[in-house]
Amino acid sequence: MSPGRYVRSVARVSIARATAQYVNLSWRRHRRKAMPHKLPGRLTVTLTSYPPRYPTLALTLKSLLAQSVRPDHLCLWIAEDDLGSLPENVRRLCSDGLVIQRCQDLRSYTKIIPALTAGHEFLVTADDDQYYRRHWLKELVGAYRPGRREVVCARAHRIRLDARGLPLPYFQWESEVAAGGDERLVFPTGVGGVLYEPGIFHNDVTRSEIFRDLCPSADDVWLYWMAALNGARFRKVGPRRRQIMWGDSQRVTLFSVNRTANDEQIANMISRYGFPGRSL
Protein backbone atom coordinates (compact mmCIF):
# COMPACT_ATOMS: atom_id res chain seq x y z
CA MET A 1 0.00 0.00 0.00
CA SER A 2 1.33 3.45 -0.92
CA PRO A 3 1.82 6.09 1.84
CA GLY A 4 -1.03 8.16 0.44
CA ARG A 5 -3.45 5.25 0.41
CA TYR A 6 -2.35 4.29 3.93
CA VAL A 7 -3.06 7.81 5.23
CA ARG A 8 -6.47 7.87 3.56
CA SER A 9 -7.27 4.46 5.00
CA VAL A 10 -6.33 5.57 8.53
CA ALA A 11 -8.41 8.74 8.10
CA ARG A 12 -11.48 6.72 7.07
CA VAL A 13 -11.10 4.45 10.08
CA SER A 14 -10.73 7.45 12.42
CA ILE A 15 -13.80 9.17 10.99
CA ALA A 16 -15.84 5.99 11.27
CA ARG A 17 -14.79 5.44 14.89
CA ALA A 18 -15.60 9.02 15.87
CA THR A 19 -18.96 8.78 14.12
CA ALA A 20 -19.76 5.50 15.87
CA GLN A 21 -19.07 7.11 19.24
CA TYR A 22 -21.30 10.05 18.33
CA VAL A 23 -24.16 7.78 17.24
CA ASN A 24 -24.03 5.69 20.40
CA LEU A 25 -24.06 8.79 22.61
CA SER A 26 -26.71 10.83 20.80
CA TRP A 27 -29.21 8.65 18.93
CA ARG A 28 -31.88 8.40 21.64
CA ARG A 29 -31.75 12.15 22.33
CA HIS A 30 -32.19 12.88 18.62
CA ARG A 31 -34.99 10.33 18.32
CA ARG A 32 -37.04 12.11 20.99
CA LYS A 33 -36.88 15.31 18.90
CA ALA A 34 -38.02 13.75 15.61
CA MET A 35 -40.90 15.37 13.72
CA PRO A 36 -43.57 13.67 11.58
CA HIS A 37 -43.07 13.59 7.82
CA LYS A 38 -45.51 15.42 5.53
CA LEU A 39 -45.88 12.91 2.72
CA PRO A 40 -49.45 12.08 1.58
CA GLY A 41 -49.14 8.45 2.64
CA ARG A 42 -47.28 6.16 5.00
CA LEU A 43 -43.48 6.14 4.82
CA THR A 44 -41.26 3.10 5.34
CA VAL A 45 -37.47 3.14 5.49
CA THR A 46 -36.46 -0.32 4.35
CA LEU A 47 -33.16 -2.20 4.42
CA THR A 48 -31.68 -5.66 4.74
CA SER A 49 -28.53 -7.20 6.17
CA TYR A 50 -26.68 -10.49 6.47
CA PRO A 51 -24.25 -12.01 9.00
CA PRO A 52 -20.94 -10.45 7.82
CA ARG A 53 -22.49 -7.00 8.40
CA TYR A 54 -24.08 -7.80 11.77
CA PRO A 55 -21.20 -6.49 13.94
CA THR A 56 -21.93 -2.88 12.89
CA LEU A 57 -25.60 -3.16 11.91
CA ALA A 58 -26.87 -1.61 15.15
CA LEU A 59 -24.90 1.57 14.39
CA THR A 60 -26.64 2.01 11.05
CA LEU A 61 -30.03 1.32 12.61
CA LYS A 62 -29.42 3.82 15.40
CA SER A 63 -28.54 6.51 12.86
CA LEU A 64 -31.82 5.74 11.05
CA LEU A 65 -33.81 5.80 14.29
CA ALA A 66 -32.25 9.19 15.09
CA GLN A 67 -33.50 10.93 11.93
CA SER A 68 -34.98 14.40 12.39
CA VAL A 69 -38.04 13.25 10.41
CA ARG A 70 -39.69 10.08 11.69
CA PRO A 71 -40.88 7.41 9.22
CA ASP A 72 -43.96 5.36 9.98
CA HIS A 73 -41.85 2.19 9.85
CA LEU A 74 -38.17 1.33 9.95
CA CYS A 75 -38.20 -2.20 8.56
CA LEU A 76 -35.24 -4.58 8.58
CA TRP A 77 -35.79 -7.60 6.30
CA ILE A 78 -33.76 -10.66 7.23
CA ALA A 79 -33.58 -13.93 5.29
CA GLU A 80 -34.97 -16.93 7.15
CA ASP A 81 -31.59 -18.68 7.49
CA ASP A 82 -29.90 -15.52 8.84
CA LEU A 83 -32.47 -14.61 11.47
CA GLY A 84 -31.13 -16.87 14.21
CA SER A 85 -27.73 -15.18 14.24
CA LEU A 86 -29.10 -11.63 14.42
CA PRO A 87 -27.31 -10.04 17.42
CA GLU A 88 -29.09 -9.02 20.59
CA ASN A 89 -28.05 -5.36 20.24
CA VAL A 90 -30.12 -5.25 17.04
CA ARG A 91 -33.12 -7.10 18.51
CA ARG A 92 -33.23 -4.67 21.44
CA LEU A 93 -33.90 -1.81 19.02
CA CYS A 94 -37.40 -3.19 18.42
CA SER A 95 -38.43 -1.40 21.63
CA ASP A 96 -37.31 1.86 19.98
CA GLY A 97 -39.28 1.45 16.77
CA LEU A 98 -37.39 -1.06 14.63
CA VAL A 99 -39.49 -3.72 12.90
CA ILE A 100 -37.68 -6.99 12.02
CA GLN A 101 -39.31 -9.11 9.33
CA ARG A 102 -38.27 -12.56 8.13
CA CYS A 103 -38.41 -13.15 4.39
CA GLN A 104 -37.05 -15.10 1.44
CA ASP A 105 -33.38 -14.48 0.65
CA LEU A 106 -33.29 -12.26 -2.43
CA ARG A 107 -29.73 -10.99 -1.86
CA SER A 108 -29.55 -7.21 -2.30
CA TYR A 109 -33.16 -7.13 -3.51
CA THR A 110 -34.29 -8.14 -0.03
CA LYS A 111 -34.17 -4.48 1.00
CA ILE A 112 -37.11 -3.53 -1.25
CA ILE A 113 -38.96 -6.45 -2.91
CA PRO A 114 -40.61 -7.76 0.30
CA ALA A 115 -41.69 -4.21 1.17
CA LEU A 116 -43.22 -3.75 -2.27
CA THR A 117 -44.97 -7.11 -2.00
CA ALA A 118 -46.31 -6.18 1.45
CA GLY A 119 -47.91 -3.05 -0.02
CA HIS A 120 -45.96 -0.36 1.79
CA GLU A 121 -46.62 3.08 0.29
CA PHE A 122 -43.69 5.52 0.13
CA LEU A 123 -40.40 3.64 0.40
CA VAL A 124 -36.91 4.91 1.16
CA THR A 125 -34.16 2.34 0.71
CA ALA A 126 -31.04 2.36 2.88
CA ASP A 127 -27.87 0.27 3.10
CA ASP A 128 -26.77 -1.56 6.23
CA ASP A 129 -23.09 -0.61 6.50
CA GLN A 130 -23.00 3.17 6.75
CA TYR A 131 -23.90 6.22 8.79
CA TYR A 132 -26.95 8.26 7.83
CA ARG A 133 -26.64 11.85 9.00
CA ARG A 134 -29.54 13.23 11.01
CA HIS A 135 -31.29 15.22 8.23
CA TRP A 136 -30.79 12.61 5.49
CA LEU A 137 -34.43 11.49 5.47
CA LYS A 138 -35.75 15.05 5.83
CA GLU A 139 -33.85 16.05 2.69
CA LEU A 140 -35.25 13.16 0.66
CA VAL A 141 -38.90 13.47 1.69
CA GLY A 142 -38.77 17.26 1.59
CA ALA A 143 -37.85 17.06 -2.09
CA TYR A 144 -40.99 15.10 -3.00
CA ARG A 145 -43.18 16.95 -5.52
CA PRO A 146 -46.73 15.55 -5.91
CA GLY A 147 -47.76 14.62 -9.41
CA ARG A 148 -44.23 14.64 -10.90
CA ARG A 149 -43.70 10.86 -11.13
CA GLU A 150 -40.07 11.05 -10.15
CA VAL A 151 -37.58 9.08 -8.12
CA VAL A 152 -35.63 11.22 -5.63
CA CYS A 153 -32.12 10.15 -4.61
CA ALA A 154 -29.21 11.43 -2.53
CA ARG A 155 -26.48 10.04 -4.80
CA ALA A 156 -26.49 9.38 -8.55
CA HIS A 157 -24.50 8.91 -11.72
CA ARG A 158 -25.50 10.12 -15.17
CA ILE A 159 -25.76 7.61 -18.00
CA ARG A 160 -23.72 8.56 -21.05
CA LEU A 161 -24.96 7.37 -24.43
CA ASP A 162 -23.27 6.19 -27.59
CA ALA A 163 -24.17 7.25 -31.15
CA ARG A 164 -27.10 4.82 -31.16
CA GLY A 165 -28.61 6.36 -28.04
CA LEU A 166 -27.67 3.37 -25.86
CA PRO A 167 -25.63 3.38 -22.63
CA LEU A 168 -21.86 3.49 -22.88
CA PRO A 169 -19.94 1.08 -20.60
CA TYR A 170 -20.66 1.73 -16.93
CA PHE A 171 -17.17 3.05 -16.12
CA GLN A 172 -17.66 5.81 -18.72
CA TRP A 173 -20.74 7.23 -17.03
CA GLU A 174 -20.53 10.57 -15.21
CA SER A 175 -19.90 9.71 -11.57
CA GLU A 176 -21.63 11.25 -8.55
CA VAL A 177 -23.40 14.09 -10.33
CA ALA A 178 -24.47 17.32 -8.66
CA ALA A 179 -28.09 18.05 -7.81
CA GLY A 180 -30.15 19.32 -10.69
CA GLY A 181 -33.28 18.95 -12.76
CA ASP A 182 -35.18 15.71 -13.14
CA GLU A 183 -34.27 13.62 -16.15
CA ARG A 184 -34.29 10.10 -17.51
CA LEU A 185 -30.50 9.66 -17.57
CA VAL A 186 -29.89 10.27 -13.86
CA PHE A 187 -29.10 6.87 -12.35
CA PRO A 188 -29.78 6.55 -8.58
CA THR A 189 -27.28 4.58 -6.51
CA GLY A 190 -28.78 2.82 -3.53
CA VAL A 191 -25.91 3.58 -1.17
CA GLY A 192 -27.09 7.18 -0.78
CA GLY A 193 -30.75 6.36 -0.22
CA VAL A 194 -33.63 6.55 -2.71
CA LEU A 195 -37.27 7.66 -2.29
CA TYR A 196 -39.86 5.76 -4.33
CA GLU A 197 -43.45 6.97 -4.42
CA PRO A 198 -46.41 4.54 -4.65
CA GLY A 199 -47.04 3.13 -8.11
CA ILE A 200 -43.71 4.29 -9.54
CA PHE A 201 -42.61 0.87 -10.80
CA HIS A 202 -43.43 -1.30 -13.81
CA ASN A 203 -45.56 -4.33 -12.95
CA ASP A 204 -42.58 -6.69 -13.37
CA VAL A 205 -40.66 -5.16 -10.47
CA THR A 206 -41.39 -7.95 -7.98
CA ARG A 207 -40.94 -10.83 -10.45
CA SER A 208 -37.94 -12.57 -8.92
CA GLU A 209 -37.64 -15.13 -11.72
CA ILE A 210 -36.86 -12.23 -14.10
CA PHE A 211 -34.52 -10.09 -12.01
CA ARG A 212 -32.60 -13.12 -10.76
CA ASP A 213 -31.99 -14.08 -14.38
CA LEU A 214 -31.28 -10.65 -15.91
CA CYS A 215 -29.83 -8.65 -12.98
CA PRO A 216 -28.75 -11.00 -10.20
CA SER A 217 -26.27 -8.58 -8.60
CA ALA A 218 -27.38 -5.18 -9.91
CA ASP A 219 -30.55 -4.16 -8.09
CA ASP A 220 -29.86 -0.49 -8.90
CA VAL A 221 -30.02 -1.36 -12.61
CA TRP A 222 -33.26 -3.31 -12.20
CA LEU A 223 -34.96 -0.57 -10.15
CA TYR A 224 -33.87 2.14 -12.60
CA TRP A 225 -35.36 0.20 -15.52
CA MET A 226 -38.57 -0.66 -13.67
CA ALA A 227 -39.21 3.00 -12.78
CA ALA A 228 -38.15 4.42 -16.15
CA LEU A 229 -40.35 1.94 -18.04
CA ASN A 230 -43.28 3.26 -16.02
CA GLY A 231 -42.62 6.85 -17.06
CA ALA A 232 -40.55 8.01 -14.07
CA ARG A 233 -37.85 10.62 -14.18
CA PHE A 234 -35.01 10.84 -11.66
CA ARG A 235 -33.70 13.71 -9.55
CA LYS A 236 -30.60 13.93 -7.39
CA VAL A 237 -30.99 16.25 -4.39
CA GLY A 238 -28.58 17.77 -1.87
CA PRO A 239 -24.84 18.38 -2.12
CA ARG A 240 -22.22 15.71 -2.74
CA ARG A 241 -21.29 14.15 0.58
CA ARG A 242 -18.71 11.62 1.70
CA GLN A 243 -20.30 8.31 2.63
CA ILE A 244 -19.12 7.20 6.08
CA MET A 245 -18.87 3.41 6.08
CA TRP A 246 -18.31 1.38 9.24
CA GLY A 247 -16.10 -0.97 7.22
CA ASP A 248 -15.52 -0.77 3.48
CA SER A 249 -14.22 -4.23 2.58
CA GLN A 250 -17.64 -5.57 1.61
CA ARG A 251 -18.46 -2.41 -0.33
CA VAL A 252 -15.24 -2.53 -2.30
CA THR A 253 -15.81 -6.19 -3.15
CA LEU A 254 -19.31 -5.52 -4.45
CA PHE A 255 -18.11 -2.57 -6.50
CA SER A 256 -15.33 -4.60 -8.08
CA VAL A 257 -17.82 -7.29 -9.08
CA ASN A 258 -20.42 -4.87 -10.43
CA ARG A 259 -17.95 -2.68 -12.30
CA THR A 260 -17.62 -5.45 -14.88
CA ALA A 261 -20.91 -7.29 -14.30
CA ASN A 262 -23.08 -4.19 -14.64
CA ASP A 263 -22.45 -3.95 -18.38
CA GLU A 264 -23.58 -7.54 -18.92
CA GLN A 265 -26.69 -7.02 -16.81
CA ILE A 266 -27.50 -3.71 -18.54
CA ALA A 267 -27.24 -5.52 -21.88
CA ASN A 268 -29.67 -8.14 -20.54
CA MET A 269 -32.15 -5.42 -19.63
CA ILE A 270 -31.87 -3.73 -23.03
CA SER A 271 -32.43 -7.06 -24.75
CA ARG A 272 -35.58 -7.73 -22.72
CA TYR A 273 -37.07 -4.25 -22.27
CA GLY A 274 -35.21 -1.86 -24.57
CA PHE A 275 -33.63 1.30 -23.17
CA PRO A 276 -36.24 3.67 -21.68
CA GLY A 277 -33.72 6.50 -21.25
CA ARG A 278 -33.60 6.94 -25.03
CA SER A 279 -37.18 8.33 -25.05
CA LEU A 280 -36.33 11.85 -23.90
What's the pTM value of the predicted model, to 2 decimals? Answer: 0.92
Mean pLDDT of the chain: 91
Domain that holds residue 172: 3-278
- CATH code of the domain in which 197 resides: 3.90.550
pLDDT at 1: 41
Q: What is the pLDDT of residues 102-160, one digit of tens each?
A: 999 999 999 999 999 999 899 999 999 999 999 999 999 999 999 999 999 999 999 99
Dihedral angle sign, alpha carbons of residues 196, 198, 204, 209: positive
pLDDT at 203: 97
Number of domain units in the chain: 1
pLDDT at 14: 86
Q: What is the pLDDT of residues 128-138, one digit of tens each?
A: 999 999 999 99
Q: List, for the chain, all residue ranges whose pLDDT scores fall below the cut of 50.
A: 1-8, 10, 249-256, 280
